[in-house]
Structure 1
Amino acid sequence: MTDNVDRADDPTADDPDVDVLREDIEQIKSAMAIEKRYPGQRRLWLVHGVVVGLAGVITNAMFVYPWPEYVYVLVWGAVFALVGFTQWQTSARAGSNVADPGPTPSWKVVFGTLVAGLFVVTSIVDPVRAEVESVLQGAFFFSLAFTVLGMGYLLAGTILRAYRIRAIDRYPFYVNGAWILVFALFMPHVEWLQYFGYAAFGILFFLHGVGTYYLLTYRLAD
């Protein structure tokens, strides 16, 4: 009973922490659109969507001809390199023009770690892939590559929060990473995806890229 009386007599017992609320409000106000922090990022969604979409369709078309396996690896290696390089350059240019709000992660370390991780994981499972038919080998290899790509988008969305990018501009990274991981999970286990998964992946990536560009440019622009 005494505790209840003391709590009732204390007018600040249930009052929110004003300093904490003020800090939260300042963080919300300081959140910026991704285009202000990284000029050209919206356009990259469109560019990457077109590049990956074409690569997926071309890969399935190449099944008609007896191309060596390394050709597919080179094609997608070039695609991933282009996506990573353009994203890296956009981040680097913005970093040289805008002061960071504080200690932030290194994009070089993030991209470098993902690439190194892909090579390590691929080398580990390569002996296992050699035991299955060629079509399934390709599905396993690209599911690994897609997994790393999906992780990269999820990490990018998380890192952008440290740069105080507004939530609406981070959501496309989360969504892209999530559906890519789901796709990578099913690709080696669904027969039709083993044959047509490359084109399906390319089309889905294209739709996401174009849709994100449209929303951020024309619907959710400042």
Structure 2
Amino acid sequence: METRRLAVLCSHLRLVDSGPSVSTSTLTKWPRSTCISMVSTSNGVDTSGDKPMLDSKKIDEEKDCIFCRIIRGESPAFKLYEDDMCLCILDLNPLTHGHSLIIPKEHFSSLETTPSSVVGAMCSKVPFISNAIMRATQCDSFNLLVNNGAAAGQVIFHTHLHIIPRKARDRLWKSESFRRKLLKMDEEVTQLAYIIRKQLRVVDDKSKDGKAE
């Protein structure tokens, strides 16, 4: 039954050359620690300006990254879609049936270090891929999720988007179950909005300076 469902899902997506076939049983026998192996990397950006050091660090990260190994064809995965910029695979530890990941082919450890062109390429595939996943899994809803940083639940430090198909009463989670408080229009919130806008201007100025160089 699982094989049939995978075939239906892949039939809705562009076929890719996944290399030697890997059976479901082979995948499930992989050690769990291998499937979700962690990459030790900082979520921040090194501002030292030492480009060779940054390049060396990135090479080390790519060597240990499970997603990079999948992209290089060194580790097995159920590939659903592939183009020049990104790859979509089934999550090996899914929250729901059809839980998939969109991954850029170039290694970036966090969303804030990922170029806007790469983020745009990933996001532009979401309507196409999610529509196919929902049809194949007979769902009418999905969550689009990014876990960015360890405190936010990021386990593999290679930028990726989660597409999580949802059904009514699937008991995964409900937004109403989170502890939320109504935003108060007070001085603290006004100050927070001001600080965020100020930081946006700083980031924008740095971006313009970088382009000028």
Give the structure-2-normalised TM-score: 0.31
Higher relative contact order, chain-length normalized (CA < 8 Å, sep 6+):
1
Larger radius of gyration: 1
1 or 2, which has the higher helix percentage? 1
Give the structure-1-normalised TM-score: 0.30
